[in-house]
Amino acid sequence: MSLVRRPIGILALALLILGAFAPAARADASQATAIKDGWLVMKLHSQFVPEDALSGSNIDVDVKAGVVTLQGTVPNEAARARAIAIAKASDGVKGVTDQLRIAPAHDDVLDKAASKTADAGKKAGRAIDDGWIKSKIYAQYLADWNTVLNDSDIDVDVDKGVVTLSGTVRSAAAKAKATSIAKGTDGVKSVKDLLKVATTN
């Protein structure tokens, strides 16, 4: 009888241990998804930067569990199609929801005082406007994803060259790095830092 009870006892203990670790495993999986989503936001913006077709666009990218939602404005239907195509072709993207609006490109262009800088900083046919600044900042964040900016969830908003950073970073160093990158980006007039350092348990 004891030979029968012992395996059952070991099995029960194993099930108890697995049950205890299951919530932690689910939490780790959820965190991995969030990190991947944040990486995708930066990756897509980095792909938008050199696209001539997206000149005059100001696109917001939101990613949840690999599903991308594109919001904001594009100057024409060709720009909308290109943004969607880039998103759909990116590794890790499970689906794309298009909420882009077509609006005149001049709505997002910097004022005349910055026009010379915009012309001088033209990248692959794309002038420095609010949309370009936003995508460029995200592209630079991507380069630091594997160092200080991993685990970050940063939202970049640009209005006439004024950048607002919100969301969370994992450390004071990451906060300083994110702000420094934004301030050093062509076309940026000033940076408003609303980033919060995430607390760890």
Instruction: List pLDDT tens digits, range 143-178.
Output: 888 888 888 889 999 999 999 999 999 999 999 999
Judged by average pLDDT, the poorest of 2-6, 79-83, 168-172, 188-192 is 2-6
184 confidence band (pLDDT: 50, 70, 90): very high
- String of b and e for 21-51 (b: at least 16 CB within 10 Å)? eeeeeeeeeeeeeeeebbbbbbbbbbbbbeb
- The pLDDT score that the predictor gives to residue 120 is 45
Instruction: List pLDDT tens digits, range 66-117.
Output: 999 999 999 999 999 999 999 999 989 999 999 999 987 654 444 444 444 4
Query: What does the chain come to in residues?
Result: 201
**How are beta strands 190-193 and 162-169 bridged, if at all?**
parallel
Work out the mean pLDDT of the chain and round it to a whole number.
80
Q: In whole angstroms, what is the distance from residue 67 CA to residue 62 CA?
A: 8
Q: In whole angstroms, what is the distance from residue 106 CA to residue 83 CA?
A: 19
